[in-house]
Amino acid sequence: MDQILTYAMVAVAVVLLFGASIFVHEFGHYWVALRRKMRVEEFAIGCGPKVYSWTRNGVVYSWRLFPGPIGGYVKLPQMVTSDLAEGKSADENLPPAPPLSKILVAFAGPFMNVVFAFAIAAIIYFVGLPVLVNPSLIGNVDPDSAEARLGIRQGDRIVAVNGKPVKSWEEINQITVLARTNVFDVAIERAGIRTNYSLTARVHEGIGLKWLNLDPYDHPIVGAVEAGMPAQSAGLAKGDRFVSFDGVPVLSQEHLIELVRKSEGKESTVVVERSSQRVTLQVTPRYDPKTQRGRMGIVFAGGVYEVIRPGPTPWAQFAKVWERTIGVLGALVNSKQTGVRASDLSGPVGILSMLAVQVKTDYRLALDFLVLLNLNLAILNLLPIPVLDGGHIVESLIEAILRRPLNWRVVHYAKTAFFFVLISFMLYVTFFDFRRLSWFRALLQRDSQVEEVVPATPTNPPAPAPTSAP
């Protein structure tokens, strides 16, 4: 009963937080349109069939069934839109709005997302931000490896990768995965002395990942082994620390869940640390109809978050999101080099699922995710693509230069065509979102400790607490 109540509260929080992000975007369009004396016919959150609606001062306000792919809209008959997205206007004889008005209205939506993101970022600065305790300390170094021959030793700390400061293995992994090269400039610190190394990443062609050939000091820990599952048959035991899975160093619980999911039905080599000894086992994750994914059948010992107060400044948070967004777009453009594909992106289902995971873990993590979400909404909506706000801005700029309205049919058909492209792309990424639902479910079932703790060191590792896993 308690679990049902928890999930219900998480669901309500997700709807409110996601809805707030869409609302502020559409409110920006709405408010500026009214100030520019433009006709507003409808203010909608979501798309598809109406769940609830009412009319006030000639404007229909509605909450619709689906959160995507367009999130919501303000129906403005004086701006040429796709009838498929917003329906036909009740009055097709209205004169078109001046180009300046249309530019201001289109820009107002993304601008409000930036304002909203800044307000949330300011809150995070004052309340603090939980950071997963997984410091960038190096664990065991194979004495026969190139890294050992360079002088890298257990207990060394990675402080920068390609000139970017890092404090955790999550940050190291993100930089490595998105990079367009397999050679990295890695700064490693020992006893206050920093040394730079040129390290070549290893690549797993089968699952499209690359990683530095260095082990983290901390590894996910088995809290329990489920009876009758592959983990038990393989010989995994409570207290085992995962070192690698199918040759890939395990960086975190989320990382291991994803590796297991991609290895369903495939015999994989697992290396664990047990009683200070490394043990190699063979495990074949099998499909679990309950979770609809490949599983080994273990329960993790939980993660610990350290709350940093004050949190990062709004500018630092904005810079981090911008860098990450540009990194992902660059990785997609160079997918042959990075292994990052469009199927790795998230649509509405993936966004809502990740927001649910963050809400359940800690409200501050959910706020941090909202900063990312709102800034991405602003950036993506400003792309010069028909249907999006950036497309409206470009269209209006051309109209202002030519000093005449563009051909209505050309603009209408272009927007309709790109609407189909947008729908197709969203359906594509949503398909993979559904395939990842079991991964999201495993993260949602996890218990994590969010507390003030001393950052982990080789002599002071965080104490594990039981949580659920693959």
CATH of residue 167:
2.30.42.10
Using 50, 70 and 90 to split pLDDT, how confident is the model at 455?
very low
382 in the same domain as 301: no
Mean pLDDT of 15-37: 88
| Domain contains 319 | no
Using 50, 70 and 90 to split pLDDT, how confident is the model at 148?
confident
78 in the same domain as 211: no
DSSP element (H, E) containing 114 = helix 99-127
Q: Please write the tens of the pLDDT for every residue from 307-341.
A: 878 888 999 899 888 888 887 777 777 766 666 67
Helix 2-35, helix 363-381: angle, nearest 10? 30
* Per-residue pLDDT, 31: 92
| Domain contains 23 | yes
Greater confidence (355 vs 301) lies with 355
292 in the same domain as 168: yes
Q: Among residues 266, 286, 307, which one ends one of the domains?
A: 307
| Domain contains 61 | yes
- Structural tokens at position 439: 């991964």
| Domain contains 463 | no
Longest dimension (CA), the chain: 79
Mean pLDDT of 59-74: 74
Phi, psi of 304 (to 5 degrees): -125, 135
293 in the same domain as 153: yes
* Per-residue pLDDT, 112: 95
193 in the same domain as 279: yes
82 in the same domain as 118: yes
| Domain contains 343 | no
| Domain contains 133 | no
Mean pLDDT of 70-86: 67
The DSSP secondary-structure symbol of 383 reads: S
Mean pLDDT of 101-123: 93
Distance CA 18, CA 373 (A): 9
26 in the same domain as 121: yes
| Domain contains 353 | no
Q: Which domain holds residue 408?
A: 2-127+367-440
Mean pLDDT of 119-127: 93
Q: How many domains, the chain?
A: 2
Mean pLDDT of 438-448: 60
- 113 pLDDT higher than 90: yes
- Structural tokens at position 320: 């981090």
161 in the same domain as 220: yes
Q: How deeply is 96 buried, as exposed, middle or buried, from its count of CB atoms within 10 A (0-12, 13-18, 19+)?
A: middle
| Domain contains 170 | yes
Residue of 71, 106, 170 lying closest to 394 (CA atoms): 106
- 469 pLDDT higher than 50: no
Mean pLDDT of 418-423: 82
Residue of 345, 389, 380 lying closest to 85 (CA atoms): 389
87 in the same domain as 152: no
- 241 pLDDT higher than 50: yes
271 in the same domain as 160: yes
- Average pLDDT of the chain is 78
Greater confidence (353 vs 304) lies with 353
Q: Among residues 307, 324, 354, which one ends one of the domains?
A: 307
151 in the same domain as 115: no
Distance CA 274, CA 279 (A): 7
Q: Please write the tens of the pLDDT for every residue from 278-290.
A: 889 998 888 766 5
Range from 45-54, 267-276, 396-405 carrying the lowest mean pLDDT: 45-54
* Per-residue pLDDT, 355: 81
- 263 pLDDT higher than 60: yes
Q: Which residue has the tokens 């230069």?
A: 401
* Per-residue pLDDT, 97: 81
171 in the same domain as 106: no
* Per-residue pLDDT, 461: 42
Using 50, 70 and 90 to split pLDDT, how confident is the model at 46?
confident
% of the chain residues with pLDDT over 70: 80
- 119 pLDDT higher than 90: yes
